[in-house]
Amino acid sequence: MSDNMRENLFYEQKNGYDVIDTAERIALEEFCEGYKNYLDAARTERLAVKEAVRLAEEAGFVPYTYGMEVKPGMKLYRNNRGKSLLLAVIGKKSLAEGINIAAAHIDAPRLDLKQIPLHEDSEFAYFRTHYYGGIKKYQWLTVPLELHGVVSLKNGESVEISIGREEGDPQFCITDVLPHLAKDQLSKGAMDIIAAEKMNILLGSIPYDDEGSDRVKLAIMSMLHDSYGITEEDFLSAEIQAVPAYNTRDIGLDRSFVGGYGHDDRVCSYCELKAIIDTNEPERTAVCILADKEEIGSEGTSGMQSQAFECFVEDLCDAQGVKLRHCFANSFCLSADVCNAYDPMFAEISEKRSNAKANYGMGILKFTGRGGKGGTNDADAETVGKLRKIFDDHNVVWQMGTLGKVDQGGGGTVALFMSRRNIATIDAGVPVLSMHAPFELVSKFDTYMTYKGVKAVYDN
């Protein structure tokens, strides 16, 4: 009797693999094969947009321009400057009844080249960098790197740079001190193991065959000129990023994890993208946001604080004679971003019972923030209740999570900026191990359940 009472009254979670059948196990493996291909292509936010547009167009999405007729079932997208993407499947109901949104980000921590990056020191040529997002700088030493980006020329043309991804391409790296001579370095705090100004990427060492100065720099610049037609001055108007050159791989003998660079938050971006691609004639309009600049505060025209989102939805509303503010007031948003997965090796940073765990499903965070819930959206109980119902109705395995122990640190997502628009918003996404490291891990099970979770919201 008391066992029955426990079952009825207590909240217990089960390992996800204990609650799914064989068909779902096959489905999740297949889903993650697609994700691995996407992550290998989406090395930067620009490349993520490109890959997402390719997949969306394949599925029948067309670019939306103001004035186009907007009818139920239409699949539309707007490419915001090649750096963020908005997609919509128009619902049967009027936009006045609100839309179902999932918002992920496609930027990830990385090393940006400085605007005057190229220099020579002791007959080595280097690119100077400025790190982007919250990284532990020491993790980025001795990691193979590839370079991607654009150089905008004065004549208006854009040159795309990509070195290191293709088989046979050279790659790059930042060097570190040998342990034999690291007495001084290892006595420093981890923050100071490498100074940001020493995060220089080694480019080459063979001098140009002449008698002048900076002969290695000249040799490297001459190679760049041959390949891309650029001069040193052109770096002034370039955005070039160095990102880890690791290929996405299964991790573990049982292959239960996917290892790769940039899971935060390309994993949620892929789940969303697949969910909207698989959404046909929904009741309410489904909107998928792939945002830029989340890692630096969602600023800029391609970040979630930009009006680009309002412009897109207002254009759709105009086509139906609906006021944007009425649409927003009735809308629902999953801020689809990763959370931290409980790591037994670092148990001290988490409160185990409240932390999201790998293989326990999509992680829902009622709030993020830091300290006494500072800087968070903190979804209301009604929003969480609504989501519980949707997930239960659609067999989504999910868990409530929290960002580590209280007072251990903290962070935020785009949820804050969505809720400022008067949109009911909640954080939801894939738990990640080693978040913001050059090589992060996600569980395949949780990745698939996040897809199912977003799909359930779109279908609701």
List contacts with Mn ion (CB under 5 A): 264-265, 337
Residue 296 or 319: the one with the smaller Cβ distance to Mn ion is 296
Using CB positions, name the residue nearest to Mn ion: 265
Alpha-carbon gap, residue 460 to 451, rounded angstroms: 14
Minimum distance, C-beta of residue 105 to Mn ion, in the bound complex (Å): 6
Q: Which is nearer to Mn ion, 314 or 440 (CB)?
A: 440
- DSSP secondary structure letter of residue 209: S
Rg over alpha carbons for the chain, rounded to the nearest Å, is: 23
Shortest distance in whole angstroms from residue 122 CB to Mn ion: 36
Nearer to Mn ion, 109 or 164 (CB): 109
Residue type, 251: I
- Rounded distance, CA 100 to CA 87, Å? 12
Nearer to Mn ion, 126 or 246 (CB): 246
- For the beta sheet containing 238-244, the strands, ordered from the edge strand earlier in sequence to the opposite edge, are 158-163, 145-152, 238-244, 110-121, 124-132, 201-204
CB of 265 closer than 8 Å to CB of 442: no
Number of Cβ within 10 Å of residue 299's Cβ equals: 13
Please check whether residue 308 is in contact with residue 414, taking contact to mean a CB–CB distance below 8 angstroms: no
For Mn ion, the closer of residues 264 and 343 by Cβ is 264
Q: Residue 109 Cβ, how far from Mn ion at the closest point, in Å?
A: 7
CB of 262 to Mn ion, least distance (A): 10
Nearer to Mn ion, 265 or 343 (CB): 265
What is the number of other CB atoms lying within 10 angstroms of the CB of residue 66? 12
For residue 333, the minimal CB distance to Mn ion (Å) is 15
CB contact at 8 A, 153 and 180: no
Task: Report the nearest approach of Mn ion to the CB of residue 80 (Å).
Answer: 19
Q: How far is the CB of 425 from Mn ion (least distance, A)?
A: 15
Provide, rounded to whole angstroms, the least separation between the CB of residue 382 and Mn ion. 25
Nearer to Mn ion, 170 or 297 (CB): 297
Nearer to Mn ion, 200 or 377 (CB): 377
Helices (H), 303-380: 308-319, 324-329
Coil, helix or strand at residue 393 = helix
Measure the CA dihedral 319/322/328/333, to 10°.
Answer: -40
* DSSP 8-class letter at 120: E
